Amino acid sequence: MLQDKRVLLIIGGGIAAYKALDLIRRLRERGVHLRAILTKAGGEFITPLSVASLTGEKVYTDLFSLTDEAEMGHIRLSREADLVLVVPATADLMASMAHGIARDLATTALLATDKPVMIAPSMNVQMWNHPATQRNLRTLEGDGILRVGPGSGDLACGEVGDGRLADVMDIVAAADRFFDRAMVANRPLAGKRALVTAGPTHEAIDPVRYIANRSSGKQGYAIAEALAALGAETILVSGPTTLPDPAAVTTVRINSAREMLAACEAALPADVAVCVAAVADWRMADDAAQKIKKNGGAPPMLNLVENPDILATLSSRAKDRPALVVGFAAETEKVIEHARAKLGRKGCDWIVANDVSPATGIMGGDDNTVHLVSRAGIEDWPPASKADVARRLAQRIADHLKEPTA
Ligand code: CTP
């Protein structure tokens, strides 16, 4: 969880400041990018040089340093992090945070940050138990500040009780848990499986000719990518396209409708299926083994049979029917009317309908205007890029799987 995360470490002035050096090492071993602010008091216990040597970065110490402000600035410093860690958080730092006091670089960055802050308090037991510190603690908790420790035991001052800095590995674990929780919140489809069909299918007439629908595959690929970005294990079954495989998606390339159906059935079970493919409705009853020659005669009669309907087949499965089956309706007139009829005919849960008349430029283009048709009603979505439509649909799917509506 910690790999490539950016942490701003604020080192306060307490005897436990030296443990911040070990913390830096442990976080760096786990791939964390660290920047550090050393308070003036912190600098009485450890040196900027040792902090810089371990973080591999310049150490920031002074709010009024011309070079620091020109190079980085306290606002940027406080924002370019995924988490701000205060170790050790002294009684003085906690009081400043609770009261919004910004008198040096550390306290100014803590006031200016828009990122989550986690404190690891460390102080004498009487200071920790003092009503003022406990009041400040409650204020900080009310402000959403995260906390690890303090622990209890022998204190550096010779007294015994609460106030020991949490073990370095406990601070590492708390940071790890924080990123784990953040990831779950950002990835609502984690643990879910998604199946997406996209592109056209090619139905062979003979070894050189085929029947196909127009389809670039762009919308379907964008949907597969958006579902994967929300954490779904995503399988994209794609007909022939010129698009590269989307990131973090298992792409299965097929040619014909029957191959697409077989690949979809092999991909089950899935929590959601989104059928975006422009499947050819018909195929040859018998495709010719050799190229059909003109030979100057009449054009050949194409003896066609209907292809399996993948959307309808997935929707009507007794076993392993995905909890949510979504179809697309590419129409050139009476968009909503046809979409509603399709919803009933195919037995799916939602239809994403769009007008693909040549004048709209949707076919092959980068933008789309869609309507989400379900038994609960119709949502008209504003014109957007295919990527945005995909992201909105993926989020809508995540919301639905969490709390099914219609
Ligand atoms: N679909 C499918 N398999 C097929 C035909 C269509 O899975 N053999 C899916 C498409 O992926 C889409 C939906 O069904 O999600 C609607 O496709 P469309 O071509 O608009 O519907 P058709 O059933 O072909 O209806 P019509 O040609 O009458 O408009």
pLDDT of residue 162: 87
Residues with catalytic function: 157
Cα Rg of the chain, angstroms: 30
pLDDT of residue 406: 56
281 alpha carbon to ligand 1 midpoint, in Å? 8
Assign domain 193-402 to its CATH architecture.
3-Layer(aba) Sandwich (3.40)
User: pLDDT band for position 295 (50/70/90)?
Assistant: confident
Nearest CA to 88 out of 160, 159, 162, 165 is that of: 165
pLDDT (mean) for 181-190: 84
Q: How far apart are CA 171 and CA 160, in angstroms?
A: 21
330 alpha carbon to ligand 1 midpoint, in Å? 8
Identity of the residue numbered 260: M
Is the per-residue pLDDT at 68 higher than 70? no
Q: How far apart are CA 195 and CA 212, in angstroms?
A: 22
The 3-state secondary structure of 328-365 reads: EEEECCCHHHHHHHHHHHHCCCEEEEEECCHHHCCCCC
Is the per-residue pLDDT at 151 higher than 80? yes
Indicate if ligand 1 lies below 6 Å from the C-beta of 257.
yes
Tens of pLDDT, residues 297-317 = 788 889 999 999 999 999 999
Backbone angles phi, psi at 211, to 5 degrees: -105, 135
Q: How far apart are CA 192 and CA 170, in angstroms?
A: 31
Indicate if ligand 1 lies below 6 Å from the C-beta of 42.
no
Cβ atoms < 10 Å from Cβ of 12 = 29
Q: Whose CA is nearest to atom 14 of ligand 1?
A: 311
Backbone angles phi, psi at 50, to 5 degrees: -70, -35
Q: How far apart are CA 165 and CA 128, in angstroms?
A: 11
Q: Whose CA is nearest to atom 20 of ligand 1?
A: 329
Extended beta strands in 2-124, E state? 6-11, 33-38, 59-60, 83-89, 117-121
Nearest CA to 111 out of 34, 27, 23, 37 is that of: 37
Domain edges within the chain: 6-186, 193-402
Ligand 1 atom nearest residue 346's Cα: 14
User: 6-186: which CATH topology?
Assistant: Rossmann fold (3.40.50)
**Cα-to-chain-centroid distance, residue 372:** 23
Omega cis (within 30) before 383: no
Is the per-residue pLDDT at 121 higher than 90? yes
Q: Whose CA is nearest to atom 17 of ligand 1?
A: 329
Q: Do domains 6-186 and 193-402 have the same CATH topology?
A: yes
The mean pLDDT of the chain is 92
Omega cis (within 30) before 269: yes
Identity of the residue numbered 219: Q
Q: Supply the DSSP symbol for 63.
A: T
